[in-house]
Amino acid sequence: MSPPVAPEIDDSRGAARFIPLFVGIVLVEILTIAALYWFGRYFGPA
């Protein structure tokens, strides 16, 4: 069995180019948590 042959891996710039996406993920999570907090407060006990 030959080792798995991967296509050419070009990762020279690493994950740095995904930093805007990371910021986006964190922002979406914060907004989601904020929305869930609002949801609980708005519909919850007065």
- Residues engaged in binding another protein (CB under 8 A): 1-7, 9-11, 14-15, 18, 21-22, 25-26, 28-29, 32-33, 36-37, 39-40, 42-46
State the Cα–Cα distance between residues 44 and 46, nearest whole angstrom.
6
36 dihedral zone (left: phi>0; alpha: psi -120 to 50; beta): alpha
CB of 5 to another protein, least distance (A): 7
- Tokens describing residue 17: 């180019």
CB of 46 to another protein, least distance (A): 7
